[in-house]
Structure 1
């Protein structure tokens, strides 16, 4: 045992360094503070009802808290049979967010570089480079926890695949199964999907070399082991994948229900929506110079020396006021019409920050392109080129449109720039492989030549960006002219001052870019000097490795602190929930367990406030139902359809005074309630006719029903009893109970969202068919007499999926145990016979 610790002492030392780095970077988190993340707040609002039931030790898979009602699969679900759920829980208990994520990045990437046979200090440098790639840190600051988790498993997953391909099939397959299971459990399908491109390219390159070297059988054996690993990982996550697949058909990523008058595509997302966050073609200069495009929206502070502030001080504004006005404009806020005048001048509506891979890493990446002979270079280069071209989205649609129109599932995802997270891993891999090649190279003369060429390429580019940056960058946004017009109005039609501000903003953008270009050039020159000293035998491998580690850490640390620092943290209680408004407090007096609130002062599809306090007609989730989205597009875009609010049981409507923004609340006395019997049925031939019919109707008296459900209605038995009653007697989001009393068979409509992939209806304990009414609600024919009516949500995809997950989890544990046994047996020397 003591020999084992001695052999692995350096790994423990580096692990300790990783913990120190985490402590120093995330000190407030160790002090019990939490990130005040905007997207975390939004996500938290969606799970208000779910959390309330969790506190009672009850699990619900459906919530009525947002969008009138939806499955909880993409908000929160326990997935207790999945062993990785418990692994993540243990990690999160020991190291709370975001410490856990940062450590997963560091240790997972370190493992990959050890697999690539780098010395531990260089492996640590590679781990730091990827971990602190600005996009990963920005995700933590924004609260995209699942996405960050998914990216953190990229490196160890690739490490497992490489082990299997290189002959350690049992160990490699077991590690692949583990990290692919964790990757899928992170439940960010988009990032897993993007990583798949890199894996496919790697597999194709390895296949080519297997055929070339006549080792195809060995390669196919490795693929067979990896196939088994994939099967185990899929089985472990059966409940997640099945539920997501099932639900996905009915979300905004699924097939359109309408053929006419629809803003939604026939299948998948709308292209403009998917391409909304596309990387600018020249915006990739931020890989090397973080502020090449002006940084993030509102992240760069203009001081008294900035050109924009001077414009206002020259206009006789006090310096403090001038700084305030300049920074308000430079924030690029769309709400005040200044998007085109922000320091960030790209085409995205806003951005939290750039993709910065590091000046040192970019320099070493170019060096790697020149000296690395391993076939991994071609895998990395192909992956980087593909991910860059796809990240351009609408800014260079030629390749993106091909993938969007023809590549399976590609049109299900938005924010296409996020594919650069894969490139963010590829850059440090090639950069560190370049150092390994340099260390192992016998011909120092050839290395020196290529090292100098790398400096000329990267240093020359940086000199251009310092001396004549406008040769490569325009520094002018596409919306600048419109913003100048808006600013002119705000300045009481002073067009001259508005134009001066516009010109000054451009100068400030140039200044920000130049400052970072100079900074990057310094890091590149220092890195070159360190490598040059090693080539000339002035420093040894250890000094070189430690020097690179320190350089990379300082380089990335300085930039990342712009986006995640102590100011992002707050005391736990301060960051969890917004304060209720007076209207919220008034509505809270209503003890009715199930009614909706419509707030006209909040963005309907991005409402992160009301779900904290009410069951909201709006909400915040990209996994909303397609039918709900179609109702919003057709019934709420031009005006508010009050009939739809009535049928959805919207009991209160909040409005804001256009001048004072003071909020008022009014009770909606025409709300239909939880359930009601209707007087007549109107059949629609398809979804378009159904949508048109609900544009103006009386939901209390009439139901619009698709003709496909006509066989489920016995009109001969139908009988109008004006004294009939139906009422909600017990509310649970997964189990709604009603009681009815009627002298005849009648059609009842329920103000609950229709979703037939899990909801079952029972009348007096007997399962009974139900159908859809009014485009999005549930309805059923209730027989005469007194009855107990129950709607129970019991999706097969989840409950049967959990059984399969348990089987997969057992297989995963067994495979890891067997791999450990085999590896230990290899290292144990055979005992000599006495």
Structure 2
């Protein structure tokens, strides 16, 4: 009995040590968290601003809303954040993982833990499993996206190894364990709500499934293949059921958002382009990884690293600027160091020079045919990441592969090689140390691997100019604005960045190669050799990746937790003035970066916002009307403001005279801004410390129109809006013709309709009219969820003026209430609650049952 307990302890201790190591690495890397700081992340700031209304509504009134009026004049909150509602029991699994920091350290620790589980279940000893965990989770892309605030992506990547672990176990004929791991991993990944990563993971799993299926068919093991396939299918269904709420919401948004197919045909036809069922092709392929840029996987600065990088005092540019008499910061100068194929980047995708070296070694050493499936997946996803740089290949997927056109930034596809290459690398190292392979063959494999990866690093170090000219296409945008000496010095620095990192990578490859070469010469027993060898490689990989990661996410990126929100969203003078207006319906137009800014939404109902999946029709209104209208106002306002500020600096005028001048000059211009007026853009922010411009042409929350006309399609409708007077006429798609059957509008000059109460998901109005009227409301139309009631009875409403709501209002005095009640969504969340509870019970049962059986046997 004692021996059994000692044996059990002996098995558990290495795993405990591994977890402690992961915690230590994570806590040291993110040490500012322990000092009461948090990571400052741009996308998290956008999220905080865009979700503030929903969070405040839940905290103050205890109610949940699936709609927000704070961004883009109103949109579903499915992909913003919904507080309250039916619980998901997967939260209880995530709580401990997120304890270190849900938007910073948490995904890194979780990624290590999940990758460790993967390698352990592949039969690797703890040393090799720790190596794989560190190599995967500290791959630079996982760190770069955290710095940018792409938190949902980081969590989705953290759970990916668990799904792959389930696949591996399934095809090792452990059906229950494999099925539950796939279900759990996929359920957690879907819950993280980054469908692009789940989409890529699905393709990876399909490739692995085919690889294993081919292997089983060759062995004529049809029974095991059918069992594994069945378990996998059940796991997929269970994972989906655990996330029915988010799946429903994403399906809805895939149809209605910018990721859905446009009803407009004229623009595409005139351009002679194929129409996709999702995003615009140029938008999808904008962030395409360059073919030569792919060498960043082993040499991080081969294309300059981060856009706007800092060059220190030893750089050519710094020295030249000092020589030319320019004032420079002692800490360094910022410059366009990046010269790759993407518009800009926040950091290189670096897997590690050692991992690339071991990957080549693994392809030689590994005997299993599964390596070919992993290689195919690696090459396939690199091709996808190249996007427009391999157009013939990626056009095929963009136009014909289901859902592919729904996702942007195709360079993201490199997340799959980040896992597959680590699997092959660690597997190859394990084989090198433990497999029964002739030493001469191992020596040959070592020399080939060193020759390929080390040789490339050597060539890039000694002759970088032989391969590249260090000029980027994007340089043309600013090249003429700087003198020749500046540009030439920058090109020299780009060359030096490549050369120095090539040398750095070469050193790490040679050190790792030395460890392997020494292992061939020693007579140490294989078990000890594997342990000490894996420890040495772990330390080298950790130092390698840590050094590169700290270039992108270091202690300077953290800010004080207690003051973060107040400093990120300070209530400015203009905010305070606008918030004095207690009327519930107005909207605010911020002229500063209108459609890429969610800060305004923190305090106000904004015309603009920031979201990757805004409603398609609203985006098309931006494209056809709002962009020009906002630009028209912005250009005049900025020019006038500069003039008035110049006067103030000369001792003429005051902030009050500036406000008056802006109001007098700018407000008449709103007579030409049809779309802004019908969206009720009452206040215009042009400077945070000056009073807003008040738009006298804003149409208010609702109005009655004396006439309407039908249009045949979306092209006619958007064209009609360009010349529309929304107070005199409503433009309505003919599909709503039945809703207006028999309506004969008799103009009533005394008729009124006003908003009496605003909540994100409940709008109340009072109407009074002598005859039946047609009302248009300055609220965004969304077909699935909004229900209208007149005096408590459900009433139909429909779309007008491209993106607004309209309805028939009977004669007399009435209360009109709009409620956002997406019944299918709430039902799907209930299904998710029950399914997640079932999954948790199954997991508990799997853990508990062996102990119950053992007790019964005793």
Alignment of 1:25 with 2:16, yes or no, is no
- Counterpart contact for 2:54–2:760, Cα < 8 Å: no
Structure 1 residues 60 and 831: alpha-carbon distance in aligned structure 2, compared to 1, 3 A threshold: closer
1:606 aligns with 2:622: no
Are residue 7 (structure 1) and residue 11 (structure 2) matched?
yes
Superposition pairs for residues 104-503 of structure 1, below 5 Å? 104-261=110-267, 265=275, 267-298=277-308, 300-317=309-326, 320=328, 327-328=333-334, 330=335, 342-442=336-436, 443-487=438-482, 498-503=483-488
Query: Is the contact between residue 97 and residue 109 of structure 2 (CA under 8 Å) also seen in structure 1?
Result: no
Deviation at 1:93, TM superposition (A): 4.5
Structure 2 residue aligned with 1:338: none
Distance in 2, matches of 1:2 and 1:725, equals 83
- Find the counterpart in structure 2 of residue 621 from structure 1: 611
Aligned to 1:551: 540
Change (3 A) 1:235 1:126: same
Give 1:575 deviation, angstroms.
Answer: 2.7
2:84 is aligned with 1:66? no
The question of whether the paired residues in 2 share the 8 Å contact of 1:109 and 1:155 is answered with yes
Report Cα offsets for 1:421-453 as digits up to 9, x if no partner: 111111111110011111223312210111112
Residues 438 and 266 of structure 1: CA distance in aligned 2, closer, same or farther (over 3 Å): closer
Offset at 1:734? 0.8
Deviations along 1:607-663, one digit per CA (max 9) or x if unpaired, are 13311221110100011001001111111344446111111111112336xxxx986
In structure 2, relative to structure 1, the CA distance for the partners of 1:49 and 1:87 (3 Å cut) is: same
Say which SS state the counterpart of residue 759 (structure 2) adopts. coil
Structure 1 CA distance, aligned partners of 2:454 and 2:106? Answer: 37
Which stretch has the larger CA shift, 691-700 or 214-223? Answer: 691-700
Aligned to 1:595: 586
CA–CA separation in structure 2 for the residues paired with 1:579 and 1:114: 49
Does residue 686 (structure 1) correspond to residue 720 (structure 2)? The answer is no
Flag structure 1 segments of 5+ consecutive residues without an equivalent.
331-341, 488-497
- Distance in 2, Cα, partners of 1:796 & 1:91: 32
Alignment CA distance shift 1:767-1:113 (3 Å):
same
Unpaired stretches in structure 2, ≥5 consecutive residues: 631-671
8 A Cα contact 1:171 1:820, kept in partner: no
How far the C-alpha of 1:19 sits from its partner, in A, is 1.1
Q: 1:726 aligns with which of 736, 740, 753?
A: 753
Instruction: Give the 3-state SS of the residue equivalent to 2:310 in structure 1.
Output: coil
Whether the 8 Å contact between 1:371 and 1:434 is mirrored in structure 2 is yes
- Give 1:830 deviation, angstroms: 7.8
Residue 595 of structure 2 aligns to a residue whose secondary structure is: coil
> 2:72, 2:609 within 8 Å by CA — same for their partners in 1?
yes
Deviations 1:563-610 (A, max 9, x none): 11110100013332332333222212211223211122x223201331
Partner residue, 2:805? 778
1:490 counterpart residue number: none
Q: 1:808-834 deviations in whole A, cap 9, x for unaligned?
A: 1233123223333455468x39847xx
Q: For 1:209 and 1:261, locate their aligned partners in 2 and report how far apart those are by CA, in whole Å.
A: 50
- In structure 1, the partner of 2:493 is 508
Moved more, 747-756 or 470-479: 470-479
Aligned to 1:493: none
* C-alpha RMSD of the superposition: 2.0
Question: 2:666: which partner in 1?
Answer: none
From 30, 42, 48, the counterpart of 1:44: 48
**CA separation in 2, counterparts of 1:399 and 1:573?**
50
2:794: which partner in 1? 767
Counterpart CA distance in 2 for 1:42 and 1:141 is 14
Q: Which residue of 2 aligns with 1:666?
A: 693
SS at match of 1:49: helix
Q: Distance in 1 between matches of 2:459 and 2:572?
A: 54
Tell me the distance in 1 between the aligned counterparts of 2:19 and 2:158: 16
Whether the aligned pair in 2 keeps the contact of 1:261 and 1:634 (CA below 8 Å) is: no
Match of 2:649 in 1: none
- SS of 2:260's equivalent in the other structure is coil
The Cα shift of 1:715 comes to 4.2
Q: In the aligned structure 2, how far is the partner of 1:377 from the partner of 1:103?
A: 27
Look up the match of 1:339.
none
- Within a 5 Å distance, the mapping from 1:812-823 to structure 2 comes to 812-821=839-848, 823=850
Greater CA drift, 674-683 or 510-519: 674-683
Cα gap change, 1:94 to 1:396, in 2 (>3 Å)? closer
Q: Deviation per CA, 1:40-78: give whole Å up to 9, x if none.
A: 111111112111112122211100101010000000124
- Please give the TM-score of this superposition, normalised by the length of structure 1: 0.93
Counterparts in 2 of 1:582 and 1:19: CA distance versus 1, 3 Å = same
